[in-house]
A = this chain, B = another copy of it.
Amino acid sequence: MPLRERQLIERVRRMAAAAKSIGRHSGMVRGMGDDCAVLRLPAGYDSLVTTDFTIEGVHFRREWQSAESVGHRSLARGLSDIAAMGGEPVAAFLSLGVSARVDQKWVDGFVRGFLRLARAHATQLAGGDVASSPDVVVADVMVLGKVRRGRAILRSGARPGDKLYVTGKLGAAGALLERLHRGARVPPDHRSLLPKPRIAVGRALVGLASACIDLSDGLSTDLMHICAESGVGAVVDADRIPRAEGATLEHALHGGDDYELLFSARERIPARIAGVPLRHIGDIVKGSAVHISHGDEVEVLEPRGWEHFAKG
């Protein structure tokens, strides 16, 4: 193994060891320092597994945000997937391809941002891989979670008559991205660069929500996923969609990267869970079409998430 990789691995291990108080209840039997991590879930639980790439130039730009926020976001994406299933995170695995163009300080910042969020969610960094990347920084993060046996909230459970809800406010990340593309200067630790995975809300939704997804690609695209997997249609009321400050309806509908939860439910849902406001934004209907209503006008809601901004 080349010297630089060995030094980096040692450094990431030391940083993880220094943060070792995290995840003591997580069922880790053996973490780094063996061929595999060994985990033991309590009886009566299913495992949840999700992986997400974070690639420089595709998912982030170093000139736009701090190393901490890139590390934070690379883990937040996976935690948000766990939240969408109603699960609880247990352990994370970080594979980091380090470009020769970034220095030790950047890598330290990345790992610091990653570990801070891991600690906040009692998630242990249990392994991974470090390698030299010939060009850009590449991170692949796997999060392993748990959920009571058979209780995971799937995308496929929405039924006509269910109501459609979102957590928090939408469009902040889309609005920010547009400003950055226009050349605006934004603090490198701007709130929208540090999304909060809705773990507590997701756990509370087990048994309440009929289907759930996290808003990573954008409301229009993610709602299409729920409808396609559930074999249903939906109508969203434009006026009910909670918008973040400075966000247009376009940002809220197609912006992506908000990491709020979109879910359907038959039951009555409280106005807040774990301090997070929940808003009724529409309804699940028969068929397969997704519509949006503006007052009396109704039109087709095209899925224009992620892609839209990637072209912007």
Is the beta-carbon distance between A134 and B58 smaller than 8 angstroms? yes
Q: Taking the complex as formed, is A295 at the interface, i.e. its CB lies under 8 A from any CB of chain B?
A: no
The minimal Cβ–Cβ distance linking A253 to chain B, given in whole angstroms, is 15
CB contact between A154 and one of B30, B80, B212 (< 8 Å): that residue: B30
Report the nearest B residue to A135, measured CB to CB: B135
Contacts of A51 in B (CB 8 A): 93, 95, 127-129, 140, 142
Is the beta-carbon distance between A97 and B53 smaller than 8 angstroms? yes
CB contact between A46 and one of B40, B87, B306 (< 8 Å): that residue: B40
Q: Taking the complex as formed, is A133 at the interface, i.e. its CB lies under 8 A from any CB of chain B?
A: yes
Contacts of A306 in B (CB 8 A): 1-2
Contacts of A156 in B (CB 8 A): 34
Report the nearest B residue to A150, measured CB to CB: B29
Give 12 A-B pairs besides A1-B306, A36-B49, A41-B47 with Cβ atoms closer than 8 angstroms. A34-B85, A34-B154, A34-B229, A36-B48, A36-B85, A38-B85, A40-B149, A43-B43, A49-B93, A57-B134, A97-B138, A135-B135
Q: Taking the complex as formed, is A18 at the interface, i.e. its CB lies under 8 A from any CB of chain B?
A: no
The minimal Cβ–Cβ distance linking A206 to chain B, given in whole angstroms, is 13
Is the beta-carbon distance between A2 and B310 smaller than 8 angstroms? yes
Report the nearest B residue to A56, measured CB to CB: B134
Q: Taking the complex as formed, is A19 at the interface, i.e. its CB lies under 8 A from any CB of chain B?
A: no
Q: Which residues between 172 and 205 of chain A lie within 8 Å of chain B, taking CB atoms?
A: none
A interface residues with partner B (beta carbon < 8 Å): 1-3, 6, 29-30, 33-41, 43, 46-53, 55-59, 80-82, 84-85, 87, 91, 93, 95, 97, 126-129, 131-136, 138, 140, 142, 144-145, 147, 149-150, 152, 154-156, 212-214, 217, 221, 229, 305-307, 310-311
Contacts of A39 in B (CB 8 A): 46-49
Is the beta-carbon distance between B134 and A1 smaller than 8 angstroms? no
Is the beta-carbon distance between B84 and A155 smaller than 8 angstroms? no
Is the beta-carbon distance between B140 and A129 smaller than 8 angstroms? yes
The minimal Cβ–Cβ distance linking A63 to chain B, given in whole angstroms, is 15
Q: Which of A47, A126, A129, A134 has the most CB of B within 10 A?
A: A47
Contacts of A29 in B (CB 8 A): 46, 150, 152
